[in-house]
Amino acid sequence: MEIKISPVNEGEWMESDVSAMGTDDAVRPEIKDALFQIDSLSFWYRESQALHDISMDIPSRQITAYIGPSGCGKSTLLRCFNRLNDLIDEVRIEGDIRFEGASILDPSVEVNSLRKRIGMVFQKSNPFPKSIYENVAYGCRIHGIRRKRDLDEIVERGLRGAALWDEVKDRLDESALGLSGGQQQRLCIARALSVEPDVILLDEPCSALDPVATAKIEELMQELKKRYTLIIVTHNMQQASRVSDFTAFLYHGRLIEYAETKTLFIRPRKKQTEDYITGRFG
């Protein structure tokens, strides 16, 4: 199957093509307690549109996964949740995202407190060039916690939460850059946990890890789900089906199908979804 992507403003022919791709007739589940409500979100890097009119609700205390081929806009969408795209020059955003009912795209939103509540773990692990201890304590330090005793506790809690404590408890003062790739990624999770967020965004957290480290992080996510809302981007269909409760399939910046993970993987309603999860393209 071949899908043609053209600029938006090309008239009649385009219209039908867009609807043929199913922007508006995207399949959506009923979400009862939605934490995020995305409302016709479109996003542009300069002139090129990366997200097309996406609407979906994201449930609280569940794991929601985004899947889709490379370049389809998963990271872009994820970075809208904590407004990390603000850092990029000449982007434009339309539509809205509501977090607990309030818009987060509003210019009056305190971005720093928003980001404190919505943590993020990046595709490529990015520990600070500091000691392991300082990496985890960093977030709380900037939010004004100074007491050594409090910080010690936070560091331990964060590292335990990320299942890293036993491996590093004797070397907290060593450089974080001396850890293995998997340990670094878990350190980044510990860092995200340290500020007690409500949501954690994970952008392909396992893409650079081996199966053992991946399994550890997946296990960890099941644990974290009890207290946090997780949104994960992944390339790995097995991973999505293993860990997530809901899965959304993005394709060329459009939401194609969004459903409970079981449903999506067993009985996809859209042809494109089926093709993608069965590996016929991607």
Partner 1 sequence: MNLGRDDRTRRSERVGESLTWLCGGALAFNLLMIVAVIGFIGYRGLDYFWQGRVALCRLEDGRRLLGEISGREERPPTPGKTLEMTGRLQLRVGNRDVTGAGFVWIDDDQIAEISYPEDALLLERLEWGHFYGRAVELRRGDEVLARGPDEVWRAFGPLHEEKVARREAIERLERGEIGDINFEIERLRLAGKRLARRDLSPDERALQEAAIAHETKEREAQYQVLADRLFEERESLAEEQLVMETADGERNAIAVGEIVRAVRPNAMSLLDRAGLYLGRVREFVWDDPRESNTEGGIFPAIFGTVLMVFIMSIAVVPLGVLAALYLREYAKQGVLVRTVRIAVNNLAGVPSIVFGVFGLGFFVYLVGGSIDRLFYPDALPTPTYGTGGILWASLTLALLTVPVVIVATEEGLAAVPRGTREGSLALGATKFETIRRVVLPAAAPGILTGMILAMARAAGEVAPLMIVGMVKLAPTLPLDHHFPFVHLERKFMHLGFHIYDVGFQSPNVEATTPLVFATALLLVLVVTLMNVAAIVVRNRLRRKYASSAI
SS3 category, 210: coil
Give the span between the Cα atoms of 94 and 161, in whole angstroms.
Answer: 36
Residue in 74, 62, 65 with CA at minimum distance from that of residue 32: 62
Chain position carrying tokens 């009649």? 12
Residues 49-108 that bind partner 1 (CB under 8 A): 82, 84, 87, 89
Select the residue whose beta carbon is closest to ligand ATP and give its number: 75
50 binds, among partner 1, Mg ion, ligand ATP, none (CB under 5 to 8 A by kind): ligand ATP
User: CA separation (Å) from 187 to 81, 116, 243?
Assistant: 22, 17, 20
Asked if 184 interacts with partner 1 (CB under 8 A), we say yes
Which residue number, 73 or 182, has a Cβ lying nearer to ligand ATP?
A: 73
The edge-to-edge listing of strands for the beta sheet with 254-260 is 118-121, 199-203, 229-233, 63-67, 246-251, 254-260
Which residue number, 79 or 186, has a Cβ lying nearer to Mg ion?
A: 79
178 binds, among ligand ATP, partner 1, Mg ion, none (CB under 5 to 8 A by kind): partner 1
Give the span between the Cα atoms of 117 and 172, in whole angstroms.
Answer: 26
Give the span between the Cα atoms of 233 and 202, in whole angstroms.
Answer: 6
Asked if 191 interacts with partner 1 (CB under 8 A), we say yes
Which residue number, 49 or 131, has a Cβ lying nearer to ligand ATP?
A: 49
Asked if 247 interacts with Mg ion (CB under 5 A), we say no
Residues 16-75 that bind ligand ATP (CB under 6 A): 45, 50, 68, 70-75
Q: Which of 138, 167, 275, 282 binds partner 1 (CB under 8 A)?
A: 138
76 binds, among partner 1, Mg ion, ligand ATP, none (CB under 5 to 8 A by kind): ligand ATP
SS3 category, 145: coil
Q: Which of 61, 98, 116, 242 binds partner 1 (CB under 8 A)?
A: 116
Asked if 239 interacts with ligand ATP (CB under 6 A), we say no
- Binding to Mg ion by CB under 5 A, coded x per residue (else -) over 64-103, reads -----------x----------------------------
- Minimum separation from the CB atom of position 11 to partner 1 (A): 35
Q: What torsion, rounded to 10 degrees, do the Cα atoms 98, 75, 176, 189 define?
A: 40
CA 45 to mean position of chain CA atoms: 19
